[in-house]
Structure 1
Amino acid sequence: MSWLFLAAAICCEVAATLALRMGSRPGGRPAWFAAVAAGYLAAFGLLTLALRAGMGIGVAYGIWVACGVALAALASRVLFREPLTRVMGLGIALIAGGVLLIELGGAH
């Protein structure tokens, strides 16, 4: 169940971040900031549930960060036509690799 909570937390966090981008665009509507607040509140609540369900903070936060960075970068490329260069892709891969090492290290 902890993985389900974490996945939902990541989705809420990415949605809130994208809403923040929408609200901060020229001509952006202030209503987007309500979605930002609700998304981040839901994300932290769901992360808390993942931790209560037994997931370690190092693993949970590492996966949260790696998935959040990757999904936000991909979504911003699709939705806002922001750049996604090879160097940025390498950075995302390095983050994912670091999280994998943390996960493997925590398995002992």
Structure 2
Amino acid sequence: MYVYLLSAIICEVVATTALNASNGFTKLWASLIVICGYGAAFYLLSLTLRDMKVGIAYAIWSALGIVLVTGVSAIVYKQKIDVVGMTGMGLMIVGVMLLMVFSNASVH
């Protein structure tokens, strides 16, 4: 289930990165990457949900997706993040870790 989830997150990050490049769906190849990427991401997420609670899967998806999209955007689009943004993303990761390790909500 974690392989499916990580694969879904990677597909989502690729699709989101291409969304910026699609220029409002006016660029064909970037638009096709967006459509295929999100389609694959949601399909893989649906496979994850067979064995993982939706709240836990979405928490992991959201936190890792935000961190990875921010990192890719910094490299590809030269977008910068400040200390407050980095701190916030760190807190999200810590929150997901707490949820997974200590919360009864993560038990399926």
TM-score, normalization by structure 1: 0.89
Note if 1:60 corresponds to 2:57.
yes
Is the CA contact (8 Å cut-off) linking 2:53 and 2:106 kept in structure 1?
Answer: no
**In structure 2, how many angstroms separate the alpha carbons of the residues matched to 1:41 and 1:17?**
12
**In structure 1, how many angstroms separate the alpha carbons of the residues matched to 2:86 and 2:42?**
27
Pairs within 5 Å for 1:78-93? 78-93=75-90
**In structure 2, how many angstroms separate the alpha carbons of the residues matched to 1:50 and 1:34?**
24
Is the CA contact (8 Å cut-off) linking 1:58 and 1:102 kept in structure 2?
Answer: no
**In structure 1, how many angstroms separate the alpha carbons of the residues matched to 2:97 and 2:55?**
11
**In structure 2, how many angstroms separate the alpha carbons of the residues matched to 1:37 and 1:91?**
29
Q: Which runs of 5 or more residues in structure 1 are unaligned?
A: none
RMSD of the TM alignment (CA)?
1.6
Q: Which residue of 1 aligns with 2:3?
A: 4
CA drift of 1:107 comes to 4.8
Q: Which residue of 2 aligns with 1:18?
A: 17
**In structure 2, how many angstroms separate the alpha carbons of the residues matched to 1:69 and 1:107?**
21
Q: Which runs of 5 or more residues in structure 2 are unaligned?
A: none
Identity %: 36
Q: Which residue of 2 aligns with 1:45?
A: 43
**In structure 1, how many angstroms separate the alpha carbons of the residues matched to 2:27 and 2:76?**
17
Aligned length: 104
- Residue 35 of structure 1 aligns to a residue whose secondary structure is helix
Note if 1:29 corresponds to 2:27.
yes
Is the CA contact (8 Å cut-off) linking 1:76 and 1:82 kept in structure 2?
Answer: yes
- Residue 49 of structure 2 aligns to a residue whose secondary structure is helix
Equivalent in 92, 95, 98 of residue 95 of structure 2: 98
CA drift of 1:31 comes to 2.3
